[in-house]
């Protein structure tokens, strides 16, 4: 009983400092806006912008320092009176279309938008060429044995059958 109590006290002694610090790490006060409408707009914009460090995450989901800086910048621009599109345009002007998780369709991004379709077509052509070549070549002819080889094979198979009977 005393052993269980000492284990419980030890566990609490270790966990209590961790649990006390966790709420402080959950939310950075400089990222939250007091106006819930502006905060919701900031979250919407942050979900549309790519983290340049993580690359496949929005700045809203990323823990990277640059993503945090961009979230703060979005909120600063909203407080300054910019609408959502002005905030996005401001960040795109600084970082380019790559910062958008859903980049616009324009001549500079045609290759980005076309590459998945091109890769699918190439994969289909490769599969088609593979099966066409396989059909044309046919299955390889089975190698026939000479009379001596066949006789030797029969002897070996015959002797293995005899071994199984004893």
Q: What is the CATH number of the domain that holds 67?
A: 1.10.8.640
Q: Tell me the Ramachandran region of residue 55: left when phi exceeds 0, alpha when psi lies from -120 to 50, beta otherwise.
A: left
Banded model confidence at residue 15, pLDDT cuts 50, 70, 90: low
Q: Domain check: are 27 and 8 in the same one?
A: yes
Banded model confidence at residue 8, pLDDT cuts 50, 70, 90: low
Using the 3D structure, point to which of 86, 104, 122 is the last residue of a domain: 104
- What is the predicted pLDDT for the residue at 23? 37
- The answer to whether residues 14 and 20 touch, using CB atoms and an 8 Å cutoff, is no
The 10 Å CB-count burial string (b at 16+, else e) for 67-91 is bbebbebbbebbeeebeeeebbeeb
Q: Domain check: are 132 and 79 in the same one?
A: no
- What is the predicted pLDDT for the residue at 136? 81
Q: Domain check: are 30 and 13 in the same one?
A: yes
Q: Domain check: are 57 and 110 in the same one?
A: no
Does a structural domain hold residue 164? no
- The answer to whether residues 46 and 60 touch, using CB atoms and an 8 Å cutoff, is yes
Q: Is pLDDT at 24 greater than 60 in this prediction? A: no
- What is the predicted pLDDT for the residue at 56? 84
Range of the domain at 119: 105-137
Q: Is pLDDT at 21 greater than 50 in this prediction? A: no
- Residue range 45-61: mean pLDDT, rounded: 90
- What is the predicted pLDDT for the residue at 81? 93
Domain total in the chain: 2
pTM above 0.85, yes or no: no
How far is it, in rounded angstroms, from Cα 37 to Cα 48?
17
Model confidence over 62-105: pLDDT tens digits?
A: 888 999 999 999 999 999 999 999 999 999 999 988 899 888 88
- The answer to whether residues 67 and 59 touch, using CB atoms and an 8 Å cutoff, is yes
**Percent of the chain clearing pLDDT 90 (strictly above):** 42
How far is it, in rounded angstroms, from Cα 98 to Cα 53?
12
Q: Domain check: are 110 and 56 in the same one?
A: no
Q: Domain check: are 78 and 51 in the same one?
A: yes
């Amino acid at each position: 009983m005393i052993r269980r109590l000492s284990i419980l006290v030890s566990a609490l002694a270790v966990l209590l400092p961790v649990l006390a610090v966790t709420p402080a790490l959950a939310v950075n006060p400089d990222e939250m806006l007091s106006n819930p409408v502006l905060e919701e707009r900031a979250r919407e914009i942050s979900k549309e912008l790519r983290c340049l460090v993580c690359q496949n995450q929005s700045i809203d989901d990323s823990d990277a320092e640059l993503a945090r800086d961009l979230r703060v910048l979005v909120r600063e621009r909203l407080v300054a009176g910019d609408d959502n599109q002005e905030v996005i345009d401001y960040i795109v002007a600084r970082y380019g279309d790559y910062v958008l998780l859903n980049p616009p369709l324009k001549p500079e991004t045609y290759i980005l938008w076309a590459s998945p379709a091109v890769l699918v077509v190439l994969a289909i052509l490769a599969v088609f060429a593979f099966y066409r070549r396989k059909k044309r070549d046919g299955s390889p002819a089975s190698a026939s044995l000479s009379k001596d080889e066949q006789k030797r094979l029969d002897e070996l198979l015959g002797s293995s059958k005899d071994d199984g009977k004893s």
